[in-house]
Amino acid sequence: MRKGIILAGGAGTRLYPLTLAVTKQLLPVYDKPMVYYPLSVLMLAGIREVLIISTPGQLPLFQALLGDGSEIGMHFTYAEQARPVGIADAFIVGCRFIGQGSVALILGDNLFFGHGLTELVVQASRRERGATIFGYTVRDPQRYGVIEFDKSDRPVRIVEKPERPQSNCAVPGLYFYDNQVVAIAASLRPSARGELEITDVNNAYLARGELHVVRMGRGIAWLDTGTHEALMQASSFVQTVQDRQGLMVACIEEIAYRLGYIGQAELAALAKKMPSNGYSQYLLGLARGSV
């Protein structure tokens, strides 16, 4: 059974002063805490055991927000990352949690939404061998890890934040790995910027011939909420979709209900525990079958 990790550490300096007192992954994206969005992706992939990694000072806030997960049929555990030393460090911090199984990692400030997303992540989670990453077309690839392809459109290399990108295909912050990732991460040396790079993990799988690259199509939105502008854009995006459809984006209680992790009575009980607002009324509508 594949487990999931949400990496929610870092100082969030690009969002100062918003992040002086609270980590960015607990900031609101429209009507939900940011961490709900990556959590929802792991849930859609069928993952029920999730490790949340954050700084020592912020972990109690995540625990207060999410608890142990049992109310929505999930199981949450927590681990400290004393200082941000790169995305790949998540597999070192979480090695005992991963055990002998496979794992999916998602960054705590990434939002994914769109037609076909569930099918993509379910297929990636079911792949037993190797690694699966995604390719996403962006206008400014120099900000990301970029996939270089040969003339046959096969990946040949991934370059972290290249000055002269050879493609506009970036790697979003969502990764699926088999158990080899634990040893690969442990063998890494810090890059020139002093971090254990997830790009080095992906290149290690590529060198073994075990890296699967799946392109996300136009119907899927990927938003990185690491700046003030991006945070506002993400909130506006979620509000627009929800107002238009009357359906919520990344409602973890709804996902748990639709996946059968909780029943109608449990969903209604969760809604009644909340203050009377649009969120709780939406859950009650689900429980009554009117949504």
Name the nearest CA neighbour of 136 among 109, 174, 107.
174
- Helix runs in the chain, H state only: 36-44, 59-66, 89-93, 95-98, 117-126, 180-187, 198-207, 228-245, 252-258, 264-273, 278-288
Distance CA 275, CA 120 (A): 35
pLDDT of residue 240: 98
Q: What pLDDT shows up at residue 140?
A: 93
pLDDT at residue 28, rounded to an integer: 97
Tell me what pLDDT residue 53 has. 98
pTM value is 0.97
- The pLDDT value given to residue 220: 97
Taking Cα atoms as reference points, which of 137, 151, 118 lies closest to residue 215?
Answer: 137
Q: What are the residues whose beta carbons fall under 8 Å from the beta carbon of 280, sequence distance 6 or more? A: 271, 272, 274
pLDDT, tens only, 57-113: 999 999 999 999 999 999 999 999 988 899 999 999 999 999 999 999 999 999 999
pLDDT, residue 291, reads 78
Is-cis flag, bond preceding 141, omega within 30?
no
What structural domains and CATH numbers belong to the chain? 3-129+173-204+216-245 (3.90.550.10)
Q: What is the mean pLDDT of each run of 10 residues along the chain (291 residues)?
A: 94 90 96 98 98 96 98 98 94 98 97 97 97 97 95 95 94 98 97 94 98 96 92 97 97 98 98 95 94 78
Q: Which two tokens stand for residue 230?
A: 């991006």
Computed on alpha carbons and rounded to an integer, the radius of gyration of the chain in Å comes to 19
Contact status, residue 34 vs residue 15, Cβ threshold 8 Å: no
